Amino acid sequence: MALWKPDPTFYPSPKLAMQAPPEKLAYVVALEPNAYNDSGKGRPDVLMVVDTDPDSPSYGQQVGQVEMPNLGDELHHFGWNACSSALCPYAPHPHIERRYLVVPGIRSSRIHIIDIKPDPRNPQIVKTIEPEEIFARTNYSRPHTIHCGPEGIYVSALGSPEGDGPGGIFLLDHFSFEVLGQWEMDRGPQYLHYDFWWHLGYDTMVSSEWGTPKMVENGVQPDVLLNSGYGHHLHIWDLRKRRHVQSLDIGAEHQMALELRAAHDPTKAYGFMGVVVSLKDLSGSIWLWHRDNSNGSGKNGNGGWSIQKVIEIPAEPAEPENLPPILQGFKAVPPLITDINLSLDDRWLYVSCWATGELRQYDVSDPFNPKLTGSVHLGGIVRQTPHPKNPNEPLSGGPQMVEVSRDGKRIYFTNSLYYSWDEQFYHNGLKTWMVKVDADPNGGMTLDENFFLESADYRMHQIRLEGGDASSDSYCYP
- What tens digit of pLDDT does each residue of 116-156 get? 999 999 999 999 999 999 999 999 999 999 999 888 999 99
pLDDT of residue 6: 82
Looking at residues 275-304, what average pLDDT do you find? 77
Residue type, position 422, single letter: D
Residue 209, domain member (yes or no) = yes
Phi then psi dihedrals of residue 287, to 5 deg: -115, 145
- Amino acid letter, 425: F
User: Which of 351, 178, 199, 211 lies closest to 270, judged by CA?
Assistant: 199
4 domain-assigned: no
Total number of domains in the chain = 1
Mean local confidence (pLDDT), 333-345: 98
Is residue 2 very low, low, confident or very high in pLDDT (cuts 50, 70, 90)?
A: low
- What's the CA gap between 467 and 351, in Å, rounded? 23
Q: How confident is the model at residue 106 (pLDDT cuts 50, 70, 90)?
A: very high
- Range of the structural domain that residue 447 is part of: 14-25+81-101+126-465
pLDDT tens, residue by residue, 198-249: 999 999 999 999 999 999 999 999 999 999 999 999 999 999 999 999 999 9
What percentage of the chain has pLDDT greater than the value 70?
96
Question: Each residue of 42-81: pLDDT tens digit?
Answer: 999 999 999 999 999 999 999 999 999 999 999 999 999 9
pLDDT at 301 over 60: no
Cα–Cα distance between 227 and 108 in angstroms, integer?
29
| Domain annotation covers residue 476 | no
Count CB neighbours of 271 within 10 A.
23
CATH of the domain at 438: 2.120.10
The answer to whether residue 443 sits within a structural domain is yes
Does residue 30 sit within a domain?
Answer: no
pTM for this predicted structure: 0.96
In a domain, 280, yes or no: yes
pLDDT at position 4: 66
CB atoms within 10 A of CB 428: 8
Q: 359 pLDDT exceeds 70?
A: yes
Is 477 among the domain residues? no
pLDDT-derived band at 295 (thresholds 50, 70, 90) equals: very low
Picking from 85-94, 240-249, 284-293, which range would have the lowest pLDDT averaged per residue? Answer: 85-94
Is residue 287 situated within a structural domain? Answer: yes
